Amino acid sequence: MRFRPPGTKTRVILLSLFLHVLLHISAASRALPRCSADDVGGEPNGPAVRTQHLVYRQQPPRGLKVYYPNGWEQTDQRPVLVIFRCNIPFQREHFLKLGMVVVKPQLAPVNSGQLPNLSLEEIAHLPRPRNQVEDAKSVIRFLRANAKQLGIDPDRVVSTGTSGGGDLALQSTINTAFVNAEDDVTISSKSDALILFCPAFDGIDIWFVKTATLLERTKAEASSFLPVIQRFVQNTTDEYAVPRDHRAELITLAATVGRQEGIADAEVERFQQVLLLFNQRDWQLLHPVADALKMSASRILPAAQLPPTMIMFGDRDHLVQYQRAFVDRAKAAGKEFELKIFAGGGHSFMTQPAFEAASTREMESFLTRHHILPIL
């Protein structure tokens, strides 16, 4: 049998179908940009999980990883669990089995550990904590804007995180100070529920030095440095002291000033001990006081509304005094939330075998009470 080429009419129909499919694929790609192809992931020796890498912002480029539960279809309306910063495979797998879509976003690469090795000029060009707040809000907006393509319910978005990730989950809902210029602000960045593990609330109270404390210590232990204190900090009338340089540089400067002013070596050494108040990682050089105040959860909470919220931490957490202080301030402001304190739990307690199952049960029960679960 000889091959007969298709006629003109047939060729036109085939070309039309090809272009239709091509345009459909192109439109889908624009609506939901990918940074890599879909793949099948999961923990080593664990069940295979379908995942997808997507771009939620172009400038600066930011991506996220989506984990889909078994049986997921694009026409679904699944609740979605967004995990900020931490990685808890036990919880992720548990909620995937319950049918939730799980999202792990990439955020601005803030790294305070590198600061002591960088110049002040280099530090000035690094991503800042405020950029992570912007990213967290962008992620929630992206998920809602693309809910149909992702098969998720835009009214059942749950945010969680541990330590700074817990604070970011809260910031995405209550912070109004920081917004990325690319964001469509007509789309809400507020989560429908929050689950906050060991949150590092009010970082300004944790890491920053109050000017009154600095002056009191200096007066009591090295009073000869009071007349020259502004060689070490930018202002003595603000609530928080802002260092002029790296902590190590200030300690070296103290020795130089001591020689210039004829201050006894013993007093110089005492002042150098006072300067150790400034965080060893030079956090304040990266995180301006003005930004930190606008990210202080207890300071911005009174003007905000909380969705259903659960806070969990351990009574042996090194941040427990700050967590309890936040809880007290939130209650005083009339905010309602659920609180669970785990006896014997330290920081990131939920990653330890003794607490994994119990903390996950609390989380599941909370989501069930607030109609996020079961899957409808």
pLDDT at 199 over 80: yes
Cα 104 → chain centroid: 11
> For strand 152-162 and strand 101-105, is the pairing parallel, antiparallel, or unpaired?
unpaired
In percent, the amount of the chain with pLDDT more than 70 equals: 88
Check residues 34 and 269 and name the one with the higher pLDDT.
Answer: 269
pLDDT at 12 over 60: no
Looking at domain 39-205+289-369, its CATH architecture is 3-Layer(aba) Sandwich (3.40)
pLDDT at 34: 56
Name the band, by pLDDT with cuts 50, 70 and 90, for residue 277.
Answer: very high
The full set of domain ranges for the chain reads: 39-205+289-369, 210-277
Closest Cα partner for 272 from 227, 238, 239, 232?
232
> For strand 39-41 and strand 49-57, is the pairing parallel, antiparallel, or unpaired?
antiparallel
pLDDT at 45: 54
Cβ atoms of 168 and 107 closer than 8 Å: yes
Taking only the tens place, the pLDDT of each residue in 243-262 is 999 999 999 999 999 999 99
Question: Whole-model pTM?
Answer: 0.86
Q: Given the structure tokens 């091509």, which residue do they identify?
A: 22
Taking only the tens place, the pLDDT of each residue in 95-125 is 999 999 999 999 999 998 999 999 999 999 9
Check residues 10 and 23 and name the one with the higher pLDDT.
Answer: 10
Taking only the tens place, the pLDDT of each residue in 21-69 is 343 433 343 446 654 344 555 555 556 789 999 999 998 999 999 999 9
